[in-house]
């Protein structure tokens, strides 16, 4: 018995030899770091470099170093601020509505018998569908002639005639919010369901014994346990929606005019429709800084003890 313990200790000491573990870890991580450097770091640095130049693909003869001119141009660019406002409105309503629906679904499913647990997997289907597919799906569902939304609303006598959802600015914003809520609400449901399972049963039972109502139990017992999940998932989805592209681009392309143009769509338009690579790079760098600030809040939320 003693000899076996000695062998185990020797193996443990051998596994902790100075310098062996860090070298192996560095060798294993190196390929991933190289790939990340090529895919992420190089385009970022290249965009930063291009943002310092007047670089328009349609006017190659006017290529010139301008330093901060592209960044100063942003201040007076009305379209940039329209896109920023659209991004904020779109993100706010998408995150809030998805959060509320996800919480309701999680609470409802948590009360169902165990034989209905497979229902959770079915509800998660919208979350795993690629954004481009969701965009095409809702583009046809909101179509002015054959869209099912118009048909259902007319049958319910909510509208008298079919609405041009994707051709009207205000309606188009509603349409893309609905599409994203359908796509993202299941994610909140999954997160909140996991949080509900982590609440100790004796805490709930103690609340009932003390005579707490359902609402009191939810507000004073359930919500405090879900606070951390609520903050972290909301910040994560804010970052995701600030950087959302495929569904909006597929459904409206940022139109009509600029009514659904978010900042990411605007950067795409500048680069690949107007071919103004220098200014598009400057707007992109500004947007990276905004996302970096949001990411800092997200990381701090992860480290916070709720």
Query: Do you know the residue count of the chain?
Result: 306
Instruction: Read off the pLDDT of residues 143-180 as tens digits, 9 standing for 90 and up.
Output: 988 889 999 999 888 888 889 999 988 899 999 999 99
Question: Looking at residue 87, what is its pLDDT?
Answer: 94
Query: For 56-60, what is the mean pLDDT?
Result: 86
What pLDDT is attached to residue 251?
93
What average pLDDT does the structure give for the chain? 84
Domain extents in the chain = 2-50, 78-303
pLDDT digits (tens, 9 = 90+) for 213-269: 777 777 877 888 888 888 888 888 988 898 889 999 999 998 888 999 999 999 999
Residue 306: the pLDDT is 59
- What pLDDT is stored for residue 8 in this prediction? 36
Buried b (16+ CB within 10 A) or exposed e, 61-81: eeeeebeebbbeeeeebeebe
Give the pLDDT confidence score for residue 39 in this predicted structure.
84
**pLDDT score of 255:** 85
**Per-residue pLDDT at 248:** 93
Q: Count CA atoms within 13 Å of residue 226 on its CB side.
A: 26
Would you place residue 13 in the very low, low, confident or very high pLDDT band (cuts 50, 70, 90)? very low
Residue bearing tokens 């002639």: 145
Residue 14's pLDDT is: 45
Q: What are 183-196's pLDDT values in tens digits? A: 999 999 989 988 88
pLDDT at 305: 65
pLDDT digit string (tens) for 72-117?
A: 999 999 999 999 999 999 999 999 999 999 999 988 888 777 777 7
Domain 78-303 in CATH 1.20.272.10? The answer is no
DSSP H or E stretch at residue 40: none
At residue 35, does pLDDT exceed 90?
no
More confident residue, 176 or 299: 176
Asked which of 4-13, 85-94, 123-132, 294-303 is least confident by mean pLDDT, the reply is 4-13
Long-range contacts from 215-223, C-beta under 8 angstroms, 24+ separation:
218/107, 222/107, 222/196
Question: Taking 80 as the threshold, does the pLDDT of residue 140 lie above it?
Answer: yes
> Tell me, what's the pLDDT at 6?
53
Which region, left, alpha or beta, applies to residue 162 given φ > 0 means left and ψ of -120 to 50 means alpha?
A: beta
Instruction: Decide if pLDDT at 20 tops 70.
Output: no
Residue 127 and residue 253: Cα distance in Å, rounded?
22
């Amino acid at each position: 018995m003693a000899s076996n313990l000695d062998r185990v200790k020797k193996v443990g000491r051998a596994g902790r030899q100075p310098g062996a573990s860090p070298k192996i870890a560095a060798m294993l991580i190196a390929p991933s770091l190289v790939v990340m450097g090529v895919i992420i770091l190089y385009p970022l640095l290249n965009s930063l470099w291009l943002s310092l130049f007047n670089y328009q693909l349609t006017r190659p003869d006017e290529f010139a170093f301008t330093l901060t001119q592209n960044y100063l141009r942003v201040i007076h660019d009305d379209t940039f601020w329209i896109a920023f406002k659209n991004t904020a409105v779109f993100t706010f309503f998408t995150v809030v509505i998805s959060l509320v629906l996800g919480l309701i679904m999680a609470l409802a499913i948590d009360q169902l018998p165990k034989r209905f647990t497979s229902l959770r997997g079915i509800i998660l289907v919208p979350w795993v569908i690629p954004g481009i597919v969701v965009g095409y799906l809702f583009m046809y569902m909101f179509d002015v002639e054959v869209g099912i939304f118009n048909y259902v609303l007319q049958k319910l006598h909510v509208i008298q005639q079919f609405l041009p959802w994707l051709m009207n600015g205000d309606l188009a914003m509603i349409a893309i919010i609905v599409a994203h809520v359908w796509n993202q609400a299941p994610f909140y449901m999954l997160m909140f369901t996991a949080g509900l399972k982590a609440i100790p049963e004796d805490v709930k039972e103690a609340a009932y014994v003390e005579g707490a109502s359902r609402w009191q139990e939810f507000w004073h017992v359930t919500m405090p346990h879900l606070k951390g999940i609520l903050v972290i998932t909301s910040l994560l989805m804010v970052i995701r929606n600030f950087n959302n592209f495929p569904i909006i681009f597929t459904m409206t392309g940022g139109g009509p005019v600029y009514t659904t143009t978010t900042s990411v769509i605007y950067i795409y338009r500048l680069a690949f429709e107007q071919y103004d690579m220098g200014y598009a790079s400057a707007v992109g760098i500004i947007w990276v800084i905004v996302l970096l600030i949001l990411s800092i809040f997200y990381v701090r939320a992860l480290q916070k003890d709720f």
